[in-house]
Amino acid sequence: MDQLLVEHVLPTGQQLQIVQGDITQQKVDAIVNAANSNLKHGGGVARVIVQKGGQVIQSESDIWILKHGAVTHEEPAYTSAGSLPCRYILHAVGPVWGEGDEDEKLSSAVYGSLRLGDQLALSSIALPAISTGIFGFPKERAAYVILSSILNYFCDNSSSGLKLVTVTLFDQPTVAAFLDVWNSMGVEKPK
């Protein structure tokens, strides 16, 4: 069962939330998949998305790669969501810890996901803690980069059609890291 932990309405009007729950069950226009550049969804969040949404997600990902080539940090791919309750899966390539420029690559993946959401005329997106699982990105550092990137995106794109961004976290250590960073950034807790 999903639990809303914190939320804040940004000066630009968008709502930012942190939720503990299952990203595959989010009732939003799109969820972000923490993907690899070849869209082979064999582990982590990606594997769960395909298991719950159906093989069509992997099939469409394979077609995307054939048509467009490898996915970059800056330009996520997208597919249908199969049997999941959202419309799209945005496949964002997060960095593997230790490969260099990890903060910039993670920021680009988040920023690119939001930009793609606007290009697809979406109003709501759920993101996981990209790269903090099997890619080894430290949780608190990733939390800061992800939350800052969301805030920066809306500062740069105040007329964005996105109205709701939910950072959906599964496990307690990740939740704790994101809440610590949220509080240190001075983002208000709900009343």
Cα distances from 153 to residues 23, 66, 113, 144, in angstroms, run 21, 30, 10, 14
- Judge whether residue 109 has pLDDT over 60: yes
**Helix-, strand-, coil-residue percentages of the chain, each rounded to 5:** 40, 20, 40
Structural tokens at position 177: 């890291």
The highest-level CATH class for domain 3-184 is alpha beta
- pLDDT tens digits for range 146-176: 999 999 999 999 999 999 999 999 999 999 9
pLDDT computed for residue 186 by the predictor = 77
- pLDDT tens digits for range 57-100: 999 999 999 999 999 999 999 999 999 999 999 999 999 999 99
Model pTM score: 0.94
Structural tokens at position 14: 């968008």
pLDDT computed for residue 11 by the predictor = 86
Domain range annotation of the chain:
3-184
- Judge whether residue 55 has pLDDT over 90: yes
Q: Which of 106, 185, 91 is nearest to 145 (CA)?
A: 106
More confident site: 71 or 11: 71
Give residue 41's pLDDT band: very low, low, confident or very high (50, 70, 90).
Answer: very high
